[in-house]
Amino acid sequence: MSIAYTTEKQLAISAVRRACYLTSQVFNKLVKNETLTKGDKTPVTVGDYAAQALISSMLHHAYPEDPIVGEEDAAELRVESGKVQRDRIVELANEALVQDLQEGDYAEWGIGPGKAQGNHEGGRNGRMWCIDPIDGTKGFLRGEQYAVCLALIIDGEVKVGVIGCPNLPHDLSKPDGGKGCLFVAVRGQGAQQMAVSGANPTPLSMPPYDPATFSFLESVEAAHSSHSTSEKISKLMQITHSPIRMDSQAKYGCLARGDGGAYVRMPTGVGYKEKIWDHAPGSLIVEEAGGIVTNSQGVPLDFGLGRTLGENFGIVATVKSAHAKLLDAVAKAHEGEKAKA
Ligand SMILES: Nc1ncnc2c1ncn2[C@@H]1O[C@H](COP(=O)(O)O)[C@@H](O)[C@H]1OP(=O)(O)O
Ligand SMILES: [Mg+2]
Ligand SMILES: [Mg+2]
Ligand SMILES: [Mg+2]
C-alpha cells in the first residue's frame, strides 16, 4: 500500500505556490543589477535566491530534521553580491510568506524564523527535500517558461513532486489564453494538474502512443540538450511535427498532460552531470501519469547518488507504449554518430 504523504504534499503545494507568487513579482520588477553569473557561468537572480529561502524556511519550520538539497548556495551570494541584494532577498521572501494567497494556506503552516540550509549532499538514505527555486532561469529572464520545483526524496526514491509553472498556458494551442499551472504527484497516488491557486484539479493520464500526433519536447537552449541528436532520433521515428521547445521542467508537466509525446534530453558534450533537482519532481509526475523516465539506455534515473544523477547518458521520458521505439531510435542515432566520428 502506498503512503499518503498528505501533510508533505500540502506543504509542498503551499511552498511552491508562494514561490510562484514571489518569482512573478520579481520578474515584473527585476532590475538589471539583480542578475548575477555563478561560478559555473549560469545566470542566477535575486528571484532564485529568494524563492529558495522562502521554500526552505517553510520546509524547515514544518520538518526541522529534514535535510534540504537546494540548487542555490547562499555562500555564493555572500561572495558575489552586496548587502543591498541580501536585504532585498530577505524582504522578498518575507513578503511572499505572509501573502494571503489562499484561504487557510498561511494560517495552516505558520512561519517562524529558522536557519534552513540547502547544501545537503543528497544520498541513498533517509528523507530529504530537493529544491530548484527557478528551473530554467534563462527562460525566466526571457519572460518565457520556467518552473518552481520541489520534491521529497526518501531512500533515493522520489515520493512527492510539485512543479509550479506561472507562465505555462493551460492549453499550448491557446498561448494567449489562461496561464499558470501546478503539477502535483505522490508516488502510487497519481498526478494532477491544477491552477496555481489550486482551482480545477484534474487527474493526468498520458494518451497512448499515436504516431500521427507524436512530437518531442526539448530545451530551448542547444547548450543544455543536443538539438542535432534529437533531430536524428526524430527522423528515425519518422516524426513529422517540429519539436516543442521550452525551458525547464515545464516539459515534464506538459508531457504528463499529453502535449508532445516524449521529452528528449541528449548530452551536448562530455562532462555535464544532470542535477537531481532538475528531474526529481518532473520524473515522478510523468511516471504517475502513466509514463516512464530513464536514461537513453533505458536505465531508471537514480536519485540516491548525491546531488547529481551520475554519468550522463541523456534522459528520455515518454508514455510506456512508445518507450522501446524511442530507445531503439536513440541507439540507432548513436550508431550513426559513432560511424561518422
Ligand atoms: N550543459 C548543460 N547540459 C544540460 N543541462 C544544463 C547544462 N547547463 C545548465 N543546464 C541546466 O539545464 C536546466 C534547464 O534545462 P532546460 O534547458 O531544459 O530548461 C537548468 O537547470 C540548467 O542549469 P542552471 O539552473 O544552472 O542554469
Ligand atoms: Mg534547474
Ligand atoms: Mg534553478
Ligand atoms: Mg540555475
**Residue 336 scores a pLDDT above 70:** yes
Cα(47)–Cα(43) distance, rounded to whole angstroms? 11
Q: In Å, how far are 8, 62, 122, 129, 162 from 105, measured between CA atoms?
A: 14, 14, 29, 20, 16
* 248 in contact with ligand 1, CB cutoff 6 A: yes
pTM value is 0.95
Q: Which atom of ligand 1 is nearest to the CA of 247?
A: 19
Nearest CA owner, ligand 1 atom 12: 224
Cα(196)–Cα(200) distance, rounded to whole angstroms? 10
* Distance, C-alpha 288 to centroid of its chain: 15
Q: Which atom of ligand 1 is nearest to the CA of 139?
A: 19
231: CB partners within 8 A, 6+ apart:
243
Pairing of strands 43-45, 35-37: antiparallel
282 band by pLDDT with thresholds 50, 70 and 90: very high
Q: Given 137, 229, 268, 294, which residue is catalytic?
A: 137
**Model confidence over 217-273: pLDDT tens digits?**
999 999 999 999 999 999 999 999 999 999 999 999 999 999 999 999 999 987 899
48 labelled catalytic:
yes
Cα(225)–Cα(223) distance, rounded to whole angstroms? 6
**196, 235 contact by CB (below 8 A):** no
Q: In Å, how far are 77, 80, 141, 174, 223 from 36, measured between CA atoms?
A: 9, 8, 12, 34, 19
